[in-house]
Structure 1
Amino acid sequence: MTPHPEHSEHPDTITTADGRTALRMERRLAHPPQRVWDAITQPAHLAQWFPSEVTVELRPGGAMGFLFPGDSEPAMTGTVTDADEPRVFAFNWGEDHLRWEITPDGEGSLLTLVHTFGDRYGAASFASGWHLCMAALAQHLDGERADVRRDTGGELHEAYVERFDLGRGVVEHTAAGSRIRFERQLVRPVETVWSELTAGSEPLEGEPAPEGFTTPATPPGPVTELHAPDLLAYAAPAGGEVRWQLTKGTGHGPRLNLTQTLPRPSDAEATLSAWQTRIDELAATLRKG
């Protein structure tokens, strides 16, 4: 069984600055630095635990290619930025940057990954993915066949959402008024999310929004815009608009973007709290489904 993130000896963390987020993960491995270096840089070893096949020119400025299962040619390319054997291996992967650092730790090593990217709300997807990859790496180094249970239920993903506080909404105050905003990565296909929100009954423009899109603080109003299974907006009875949009996400399912404009800023905190409860309930239901 893959260990829960809260049980890690070194807590996994994220920091965000200037629109970029850095995910930091540390793992102790019972193998010397050179062996770990070979496992994270040589394509034959990478094929046993990394999420894609890799080609690499192991020098600063060297080209990299990433071939995912089912693709006939590399879907992404990268460039090596550091190759200091057996200490540091770093590269660009699309718009992201990955830095692997190996330090001696007794008879073994401490492996540190810093993954820097622009999509803060994708951090739980990246962390849960790397969590499983690093568990597979440890198995490979131990001479075992990498056999890590996939996070099919989203339990690991949701644990990272909680750890990184990625489920919290915000109130934005502008000259045009106040707005509630939530962004959250979900763990089921968009069709499953839509079915849960609509309770299997398709909404219609001009009719009241289904209960799944509402809260006690924001009861249903007439649907003003509808593009199943990606978008539903409705007029809130007290004024303003509620807008649910499901866009492409990071690995597990769609990204939920929910906003509500408010005619009275004094209602913001109560409205925010009600939506927090509703979205947490949705995420928990999807995880169990």
Structure 2
Amino acid sequence: MTTGTYAEIDGRPALRFVRDYPHSRERVWDAVTDPTELVAWFPARVAFPGIGEPEPGATVRYSFAEDGDGGTGTVVEHDPPHRFTITWAGDELRLVLEPLAGGGCRLTFTALLEDRDTAARTAAGWEVCLEALDAALAGSPVGGPGTGPTPAWRRHYDDYESTGVPAGAPIPGA
């Protein structure tokens, strides 16, 4: 089942995912910003070279266990424990945490895409990643996602494509 929605934001193709967690904003903040916790769900290893705490304008370095360099990006916004925005390969990744009335918090993850035809491919990838985040926050980490298509990724991709989310970009590892 897909959980993301496709839209155009500021003239760019975008994907939005919303997750509610029974955890505090601070706990989820750590899971979505701390490089030692990102390994449980983010598709690349993340480092902020030369700084302890990310700050706007700082470089973000991405790397992969299988093939090394994943490029660099920039910290756009860092407002703990509410907003964190980074760039990666032409995309902008926005994470917003809001407290819920009954406790816990809501994570709204928005990916502004560089290219429209990558939407279904990217949505499927973030579904797999967010499922790993869900598991990690539930105390049952499944290990970080890989870089190639898996059966779960393929199922999500087919779901997104069948609902009309733009597709057509090459699929790495396929």
Same fold (TM over 0.5): yes
Matches within 5 A, 1:194-233: none
The answer to whether 1:14 aligns with 2:9 is no
Answer whether contact 2:25 2:98 (CA < 8 A) is retained.
Answer: yes
Q: 1:40 to 1:152 in 2, by over 3 A?
A: closer
Q: 1:153 to 1:28 in 2, by over 3 A?
A: closer
CA RMSD of aligned residues (A): 2.3
Uncovered stretches (5+) of structure 1, i.e. residues with no partner: 167-183, 186-247, 254-289
* Cα distance in 2, alignment partners of residues 23 and 87 from structure 1: 19
The percentage of counterpart residues that share the same residue type is 33
Report the CA distance between 1:19 and its aligned residue: 5.9
The equivalent of 1:162 in structure 2 is: 162
**Alignment partner for residue 114 of structure 2, among 118, 124, 127?**
118
* Cα distance in 2, alignment partners of residues 128 and 45 from structure 1: 21
For these two proteins, the number of residue pairs brought into alignment is 165
SS where residue 75 of structure 1 aligns? Answer: strand
- Deviation track 1:150-202 (CA, whole Å, cap 9, x = no partner) reads 33672210101122443xxxxxxxxxxxxxxxxx43xxxxxxxxxxxxxxxxx
Q: Which structure's CA Rg is the greater one?
A: 1
Answer whether contact 1:14 1:164 (CA < 8 A) is retained.
Answer: no
The answer to whether 1:93 aligns with 2:85 is no
The answer to whether 1:41 aligns with 2:33 is yes
Answer whether contact 1:13 1:164 (CA < 8 A) is retained.
Answer: no
Uncovered stretches (5+) of structure 2, i.e. residues with no partner: none
TM-score for the superposition, normalised by structure 2? 0.84
The equivalent of 2:75 in structure 1 is: 80
Q: 1:42 to 1:121 in 2, by over 3 A?
A: same
* Cα distance in 1, alignment partners of residues 153 and 74 from structure 2: 34
The answer to whether 1:130 aligns with 2:122 is no
Report the CA distance between 1:18 and its aligned residue: 7.2
Q: 1:152 to 1:130 in 2, by over 3 A?
A: closer
